[in-house]
Structure 1
C-alpha cells in the first residue's frame, strides 16, 4: 500500500514537474511528496528525478516508469470512480476548460441547466483562449473554437462558427447603412487581435462560394472578443462577430445584420477529452448532454 502511495506521488510530480504543485493536487505538504518519491527510488533502486534548486526533470528510468504506470493508474482511478459513482449515483466533480467568451456565454448556462437535474455534480471551469492539455492540467472535458484539436484526444464537433457583420442601430442612424463590403471600407470598424500573435485578424468574405480575406479600417482593436462585442453594441463601429455569441442581440434587434457576403462558416466549436477505457458516468453524461444541446439548436 505504501509503495502504491509513493507511486501516486511520483506520477503527480511527473505530471507537474513540481513538488509544490503535486503537493497541492494531492493535498499534502511538498516535504511529504519528496519523502514518498525518495521512498519509491529506494525501493526500486534507481533514480527517477534530476533535482536542482531551480529545475526538476525525469531521468530516463523515471520517464519510462511514468509512460508505463500513468495509463494504468488512470485506469485504476477510473474503475474505482465508476464503482463509487454507481454506489452514490450522479455526483462528483467535472473539470472543464474553455475559451473565455464561449465559457462565459455558452458553457456557464449549460453547467447551470445540468446542475438543475444533477445538483451533486460540481464543476471546475478553467477559462483560457490557449489550447489546454487535458492530461497535464487534469481536465476532464475541453472545449475549443476554431480548428479541430490535432493532438491525441477524442474530438467531437458541436457546430459551425458562423461569422456575421453587424452594427448597433445607434451607429447606423449616425453613419448610415453600408450597401456592400466596398462601402464598409468607408465606415468605422472594429478589429480583433489574435490573443497569441497580437496580429489583427482580417475579415472573412464569402463571394460565389469562394472565401477571401479583407482588412478593414479598424478604429478600435481588441484581443478579447467580449470587449469587441460590447464596443459594437455601444455603437463604436461595425464588427464581424461570431453569431453564436451575439444571437440574443441579433434576435432582439440590439444588433443589425449587414452585408450578406460577410456571413461565413469556416471554423467550428469542438469538445475534446482524453481517450479512456472507462469514462466516469457523470463525465459521460455531461458530454452527451452538451452534444445533444448543440444538436437540437
Structure 2
C-alpha cells in the first residue's frame, strides 16, 4: 500500500464528501480509490467512513484522524510543490564577502541584482573572518587573496594590485619616493593583519621576483578603509588594494608612486561549494556577478596605465 497516496485519497474524500470525486481529482478509478481507503482502514485498525449507497461520512475516529493528518499532508504538498518549482529564481540567497570589498566593489552589484530579481531574498554577510560555509549555509562567497584550496570552487573575477600611493598634499610637502629604499625617509601607514595582529609587510615587484619589506609605520590600523582615510588625509604613504585606491587615483585624490614595482599576485575570487543540483537563483547570481566583474576595469589599473605611469582620470559628466 502506498500510504501517502491512501492518506491523500482519504483527506480529499472527506473534504469533497465523495469517493468518486476524490478518485477523479487524484487520477485513479473509483474502484482503486475505494481499495486504497479500505486498505488504510485495515492498516490503522479503525473505520474511517460510514458508507451507504448514497453518501459517505466520517466516523468519529475518521474525524480525529483527519485533524491529525491534514496539516502535515498540506506541508508535504507545499514542500513537493516547492521542490518541483526550485528552478524558479525565488527564495533565500546567502552571500558573504570581506567588508572592504562589500562596501566598495560589491554593494552596487548586490543592489542591481536585488532590483533585477525581487523574488530572491538576499542575505548579505560582511565578514573578515573565515567562515564554515556548510554550517552557516553560505551559497556564494567572495574572497581576496591567493587561490583558495580545492574544497570549494573558486573563480577569479578581479585582479588585486597593491599600489603605493599618497595624497597630493603629502607629496607637495615631502616629495615622492623614487626608489623602494627612499620609503625609509617617509612617513608611511601600516595595516595590522587580523590573523596575527602584526603589521603586514609591503610587497614589491622587482624584476621577476616579489620582494617583501618591513616598512616602519608612522600610523597603523586594523581596518583597510581606515588606512585609506589616513592616506587621503596626508598622514603618510600607504600601500593600498587597487579596489580601494584606483577610483581615488582616477579622481586625482591620490597619486600612485613606484608604479613599476606594483604587485599583482592576488585576486578576488567568487567561491561556492560543489553541488549536483544548484538552485536557479544561485546560478543566476553567479552569472550576474561574473559577467559584470570580469568586464570591469574600474577597480584596477590597466596594463597601459601601469606602463605609462599616469592613470587616466575619469572624465566628469557635463553639468557636474
TM-score of the superposition, structure 1-length normalised? Answer: 0.69
Secondary structure, in 3 states, of the residue corresponding to 2:275?
A: coil
Give the deviation of 1:79 after TM superposition: 8.9
Give the deviation of 1:285 after TM superposition: 0.6
Match of 2:143 in 1: 144
Match of 1:110 in 2: 109
Give the deviation of 1:126 after TM superposition: 1.2
Match of 2:84 in 1: 83
Match of 1:286 in 2: 285
Deviation per CA, 1:72-111: give whole Å up to 9, x if none: xxxxxx997563344xx43222101111101111121110
CA–CA distance in structure 2, aligned partners of residues 184 and 261 of structure 1 = 15
Give the deviation of 1:235 after TM superposition: 0.9
Question: Structure 2 matches for 1:72-221, cutoff 5 A?
Answer: 83-86=84-87, 89-150=88-149, 152-221=151-220
Deviation per CA, 1:143-191: give whole Å up to 9, x if none: 1101222152111111221110001111111211221211121000001
Match of 2:273 in 1: 274
CA–CA distance in structure 1, aligned partners of residues 281 and 264 of structure 2 = 32
Secondary structure, in 3 states, of the residue corresponding to 2:218?
A: strand
**Aligned residues of 2:193 and 2:200 also touching (Cα < 8 A):** yes
| RMSD, matched Cα | 1.8
Match of 1:243 in 2: 242
127-136 vs 220-229, greater mean Cα deviation: 127-136
CA–CA distance in structure 2, aligned partners of residues 92 and 249 of structure 1 = 37
Closer/same/farther in 2, CA of residues 80 and 138 from structure 1, 3 Å limit: farther
89-98 vs 208-217, greater mean Cα deviation: 89-98
Give the deviation of 1:256 after TM superposition: 0.4
Q: Which is greater in Rg? A: 2
Match of 2:15 in 1: none
Secondary structure, in 3 states, of the residue corresponding to 2:185?
A: coil
TM-score of the superposition, structure 2-length normalised? Answer: 0.65
**Aligned residues of 2:152 and 2:272 also touching (Cα < 8 A):** yes
Secondary structure, in 3 states, of the residue corresponding to 1:122?
A: strand
**Aligned residues of 2:163 and 2:245 also touching (Cα < 8 A):** no
Give the deviation of 1:283 after TM superposition: 0.9
CA–CA distance in structure 2, aligned partners of residues 162 and 184 of structure 1 = 19
Closer/same/farther in 2, CA of residues 177 and 281 from structure 1, 3 Å limit: same
CA–CA distance in structure 2, aligned partners of residues 237 and 81 of structure 1 = 56
Q: Which runs of 5+ in 2 are unaligned?
A: 1-78, 297-320
**Aligned residues of 1:167 and 1:237 also touching (Cα < 8 A):** yes
CA–CA distance in structure 2, aligned partners of residues 206 and 170 of structure 1 = 26
**Aligned residues of 1:81 and 1:280 also touching (Cα < 8 A):** no
Q: Which runs of 5+ in 1 are unaligned?
A: 1-77
